[in-house]
């Protein structure tokens, strides 16, 4: 890490400012006059100068076999050693694992090379010793396996999930994608095991350390689990309670069941509603249970037990939605110091979070591992030097889980700072929606829109549609126009009105009454054009009857929606699905047309129309 420039605050200055403002002002005056006494830093007993010089002179090498090393210990390593052991070699390498899609990494680290060479990965449930599993967690797993009543509590892990756990256990960043929603239950168990192991090891480390060893952050929370729905959070917390018993206080357990579940009557109504409206399996598995999107909970690991609803600054794990944490981030006096020392971030179903409010998620990611705003109780002699020097983010592991790929997810993942490196585990999709639509004799057209900037691709597709298609919609019925979200609606509506075209809207900002009326009038042909959004269709999964000419302004981010458009097409009519895309939409297109067809579509010249019958 480069030293601060002249006149710039160092991380040490920032820390002193938080702890003792008088000492900070004194230090700044000395800095300005270039008269810094030796004892100025040593007053805080942060670092012994002689020891620092000695460490920097040592030859740093990777002396430990990666396979044998417990990678949890890397959190407590000296920064120079940590950097040296995880130094990228600068060579391009191909991730080629039969379980996942292949892709090229621009550079690799020793840990990534180790993971890419693995062939036979042991099961973390039956071979706990190979993963350095914490004793309390190993004992609990053994008891779960022995007791036949708990047989369903521990899933049988397939090869791809064993490999996922191996990656998590090495603390590299992971972007895991699997379009099969039903597979995510086992994924959640795997990362819950990783989290349980992490906090148990942290507690063991704290007990074992001597007076001079530094193994703590500025604040206690170590793990942040971000998910968009309470039903997902409930599943994760239930998994953790399987692996670590809850405290004997039934009060908080009862509160948890009440807060994160639904009353029996509501569950019955929900199931009946799903059946009546014929919701698809992926929707039912995603939205069964409590669908609230504003929540937060602190969980403390103490005495071998989990304590739910603990105050954030006394917690080891925080489970929350971006909306639930927003008040703490956006108040006049924001309070997000509890995120300053996070070591592991799990973002479960980032695809759902993107449909909710992506800005909230990106704002949250920006404040994780920020310097302290206010000093709280703590022993500065126990705080890791890496935390004091502002290097926590370079140690932090980030895990994203999604059912779809997206250039936006890739962008965030690519800019993470974990020095160990990161892998994208992309489970190949076997779905072929083009073939499915062809079986129903639906004509499919893919139009490549000219675009020179990924940031304008959405608007470029909308502009192209408005300029080239709207003048031709007169006297055509059954036209369904699908835009990304409500933000694009006003531009489109203005253009439709200007062309004197009759239409109605069915989007997320409409009232339920208005949406019902719009759907009814469209299905009977009373209104020839209906405008809707991917966002609404994702959360409601309406089958909009009466559709025969479907225009998709950009490919759907959630590929299963394309299957819904096939269902919408009216029988005994000439049906067409027209999709607009740009050269930046390769990931989205691949999930619809398949790996073999996507190359042809991406290589097509601008304005080219590719048809499938």
Could you tell me which residues come within 8 angstroms of residue 85 by beta carbon, excluding any fewer than 6 positions away? 60, 62, 74, 77, 110
- Using one digit for the tens of pLDDT, what is the confidence trace for 280-326? 999 999 999 999 999 999 999 999 999 999 999 999 999 999 999 99
What integer is the mean pLDDT of 207-225?
Answer: 79
6 is a domain residue: no
Q: Do 380 and 485 reside in the same domain of the chain?
A: no
- Using one digit for the tens of pLDDT, what is the confidence trace for 335-362? 999 999 999 999 999 999 999 999 999 9
Q: Do 408 and 442 reside in the same domain of the chain?
A: no
Q: Do 153 and 248 reside in the same domain of the chain?
A: yes
Structure-model confidence comparison of residues 577 and 145, the more confident one: 577
What would you report as the CA-atom Rg of the chain, rounded to the nearest whole angstrom? 27
347 is a domain residue: yes
Q: Do 398 and 525 reside in the same domain of the chain?
A: no
Provide the sign of the torsion angle of the four alpha carbons 136, 138, 141, 147, taken in this order.
negative
Q: Do 437 and 416 reside in the same domain of the chain?
A: no
The whole-number pLDDT of residue 159 equals 96
What integer is the mean pLDDT of 522-529?
Answer: 96
Q: Do 385 and 446 reside in the same domain of the chain?
A: no
The whole-number pLDDT of residue 399 equals 99
Q: Do 197 and 336 reside in the same domain of the chain?
A: yes
Per cent of the chain over pLDDT 70 is: 87
Q: Do 420 and 504 reside in the same domain of the chain?
A: no
The whole-number pLDDT of residue 318 equals 98
Query: How far are the Cα atoms of 319, 323, 559 from residue 221, in angstroms, in the given order?
Result: 11, 19, 36
Of 376, 406, 426, the last residue of a domain is: 426
288 is a domain residue: no
What integer is the mean pLDDT of 533-560?
Answer: 96
The whole-number pLDDT of residue 281 equals 95
Of 388, 404, 426, the last residue of a domain is: 426
The whole-number pLDDT of residue 14 equals 62
Q: Do 231 and 107 reside in the same domain of the chain?
A: yes
Q: Do 227 and 328 reside in the same domain of the chain?
A: yes
The whole-number pLDDT of residue 182 equals 92
Domain tally, the chain: 2
Q: Which two tokens stand for residue 555?
A: 């490919």
- Using one digit for the tens of pLDDT, what is the confidence trace for 256-279? 999 999 999 999 999 999 999 999
Which pLDDT band, with edges at 50, 70 and 90, does 331 fall under? confident
Query: 217-226, 377-386, 392-401: which has the minimum mean pLDDT?
Result: 377-386
Domain hosting 187: range is 71-261+293-426
The whole-number pLDDT of residue 138 equals 95
Q: Which two tokens stand for residue 496?
A: 């439709």
Q: Which two tokens stand for residue 241?
A: 């309670």
- Using one digit for the tens of pLDDT, what is the confidence trace for 436-481? 999 999 999 999 999 999 999 999 999 999 999 999 999 899 999 9
Of 370, 402, 426, the last residue of a domain is: 426
Residue 174, class by beta-carbon neighbours within 10 Å (0-12 exposed, 13-18 middle, 19+ buried)?
buried
499 is a domain residue: yes
The whole-number pLDDT of residue 210 equals 58
275 is a domain residue: no
Per cent of the chain over pLDDT 90 is: 72
CA-wise closest residue to 383 among 209, 214, 212: 214
452 is a domain residue: yes
Calpha distance 10→167 (Å, rounded): 34
CA-wise closest residue to 346 among 292, 402, 298: 402
Query: How far are the Cα atoms of 88, 270, 282, 290, 542 from residue 276, in angstroms, in the given order?
Result: 55, 10, 16, 19, 12
Which pLDDT band, with edges at 50, 70 and 90, does 13 fall under? low
The whole-number pLDDT of residue 26 equals 57
Q: Is the pLDDT of residue 1 over 50?
A: no
Q: Is the pLDDT of residue 157 over 50?
A: yes
Calpha distance 461→40 (Å, rounded): 60
What integer is the mean pLDDT of 407-435?
Answer: 93
Q: Which two tokens stand for residue 167?
A: 């990656």
458 is a domain residue: yes
- 135-146 vs 184-208: helix crossing angle, rounded to 10: 140
Under DSSP, the state recorded for 131 is: G
CB 527 within 8 A of CB 518: yes
Q: Is the pLDDT of residue 41 over 70?
A: no
Q: Do 191 and 312 reside in the same domain of the chain?
A: yes
Assign residue 574 the CATH number of its domain.
3.40.50.300
Q: Do 442 and 397 reside in the same domain of the chain?
A: no
545 is a domain residue: yes
CA-based end-to-end distance of the chain: 57
């Amino acid at each position: 890490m480069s030293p601060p420039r002249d006149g710039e605050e160092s991380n040490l200055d920032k820390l002193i400012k938080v702890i003792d403002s008088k000492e900070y002002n004194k230090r700044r005056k000395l800095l300005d006059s270039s008269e810094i006494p030796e004892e100025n830093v040593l007053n805080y007993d942060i670092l012994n100068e002689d020891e620092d010089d000695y460490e920097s002179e040592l030859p740093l090498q990777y002396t430990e076999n990666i396979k044998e090393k417990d990678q949890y210990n890397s959190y407590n390593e000296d920064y120079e050693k940590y950097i040296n052991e995880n130094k990228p070699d600068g060579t391009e390498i191909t991730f080629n694992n039969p379980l996942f899609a292949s892709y090229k990494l621009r550079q690799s680290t020793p840990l990534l090379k180790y993971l890419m060479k693995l062939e036979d990965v042991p099961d973390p449930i039956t071979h706990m010793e190979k993963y350095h599993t914490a004793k309390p967690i190993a004992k609990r797993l053994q008891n779960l396996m022995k007791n036949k009543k708990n047989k369903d509590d521990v899933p049988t892990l397939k090869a791809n999930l064993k490999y996922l756990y191996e990656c998590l256990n090495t603390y590299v960043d992971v972007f895991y994608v699997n379009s099969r929603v039903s597979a995510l239950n086992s994924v959640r168990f795997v990362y819950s095991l990783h989290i349980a192991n992490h906090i148990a090891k942290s507690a063991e480390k704290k007990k074992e350390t001597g007076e001079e060893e530094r193994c703590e952050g500025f604040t206690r929370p170590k793990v942040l689990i971000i998910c968009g729905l309470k039903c997902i959070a409930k599943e994760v917390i239930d998994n953790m309670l399987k692996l670590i018993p809850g405290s004997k206080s039934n009060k908080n357990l009862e509160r948890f069941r009440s807060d994160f579940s639904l009353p029996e009557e509501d569950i019955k109504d929900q199931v009946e509603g799903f059946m009546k409206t014929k919701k698809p399996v992926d929707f039912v598995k995603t939205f069964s249970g409590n669908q609230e999107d504003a929540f937060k909970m602190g969980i403390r690991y103490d005495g071998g037990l989990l304590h739910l609803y603990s105050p954030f600054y006394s917690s080891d794990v925080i489970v929350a939605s971006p909306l639930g944490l927003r008040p703490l981030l956006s108040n006049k006096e924001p309070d997000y110091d509890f995120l300053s020392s996070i070591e592991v971030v799990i973002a479960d179903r980032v695809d759902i979070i993107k449909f909710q409010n992506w800005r909230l998620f990106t704002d949250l990611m920006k404040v994780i591992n920020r310097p302290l705003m206010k000093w709280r109780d703590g022993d500065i002699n126990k705080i890791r030097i890496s935390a004091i020097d502002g290097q926590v983010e370079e140690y932090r592991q980030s895990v994203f889980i999604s059912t779809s790929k997206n250039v936006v997810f890739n962008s965030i993942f690519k800019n993470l700072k974990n020095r160990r490196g990161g892998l994208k585990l992309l489970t190949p999709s076997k779905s072929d929606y083009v073939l499915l639509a062809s079986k129903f004799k639906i004509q499919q057209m893919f139009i490549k829109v000219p675009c020179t900037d990924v940031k304008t691709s959405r608007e470029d597709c909308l502009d192209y549609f408005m300029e080239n298609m709207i003048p031709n919609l007169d006297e055509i019925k059954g036209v369904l126009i699908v835009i990304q979200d409500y933000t694009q609606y006003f531009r489109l509506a203005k253009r439709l009105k200007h062309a004197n075209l009759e239409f109605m809207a069915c989007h997320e900002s409409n009232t339920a009454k208005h949406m019902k009326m719009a759907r009814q009038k469209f299905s009977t042909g009373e209104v020839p054009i209906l405008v809707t959004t991917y966002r609404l269709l994702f959360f409601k999964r309406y089958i909009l009857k009466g559709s025969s000419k479907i225009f998709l302004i950009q490919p759907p981010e959630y590929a299963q929606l394309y299957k819904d458009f096939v269902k919408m097409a009216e029988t005994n009519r000439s049906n067409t699905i027209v999709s607009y895309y740009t050269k930046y939409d390769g990931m989205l297109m691949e999930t619809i047309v398949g790996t073999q067809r996507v190359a042809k579509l991406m290589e097509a010249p601008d304005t080219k129309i590719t048809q499938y019958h």
